[in-house]
Amino acid sequence: MGTTPRSPFRARLAKLTVLATAAAATLTATTTTAATATPSRVAACTGYVGLTFDDGPSGSTTGLLDALRRNGLRATMFNQGQYAAANPSLVRAQVSAGMWIGNHSYTHPHLTGLSQAQIDSEISRTQQAIANAGGGTPKLFRPPYGETNATVRSVAARHGLTQIIWDVDSQDWNGASTQAIVQAAGRLTNGQTILMHDWSANTLAAIPGIAQQLASRGLCAGMISPQTGRAVAPG
């Protein structure tokens, strides 16, 4: 006894049912994968470090921001007031890229050799220049050359600023190689910050290596807390 051939309509219906079942299975698998991927990425951050770049914004800023974004890094940009005033669009680009903006004085002088009024001028003019450029009102201050004293700290505090030096010096200002800069980042531990510079070509080239090095140790780029001066999870 022969079998009755299925009608073209029933054949098409069966095929659509198979395709729908496969699509539902794929959607379920994709949803499950996405749901489990997010917690694993969060769990990978066992600590936070502060990447800091001094002396911008400059002609190198755009390339630096591109490199940081491509490698999933955020940083604190300690801008000089004179450059913020001259390049407001770059300050806005820093903010748009998810960076935090700090005060690095107006003209980068040796503050400890200045009067209190001169120190105040350097800090207050930079606060205003960054705010005018769209960078908000900084809460962090890095004295040029890391030179400070009680007067510098007092003036900074009067402007609502927390002084931030650094834990690791990349030595990029001193001609350190790209490899040496990556190795310097390798010395960072949870909560610490590293000194780098906006204008250094070797630092720009080191960004991918820094990102890989931090990830291998479960460290993520964080913000610097104005309360503690330590790197913490971005707020």
- Residues classed as catalytic: 54, 197
What is the CB neighbour count within 10 angstroms for residue 210?
28
Computed from CA positions of residues 113, 54, 201, 168, in that sequence, does the dihedral angle turn out positive or negative?
positive
Q: How far apart are CA 221 and CA 199, in angstroms?
A: 20
Q: How far apart are CA 235 and CA 74, in angstroms?
A: 12
Contact between 104 and 65 (Cβ < 8 Å): no
Environment class of residue 114 by beta-carbon count within 10 Å: exposed (0-12), middle (13-18) or buried (19+)?
Answer: middle
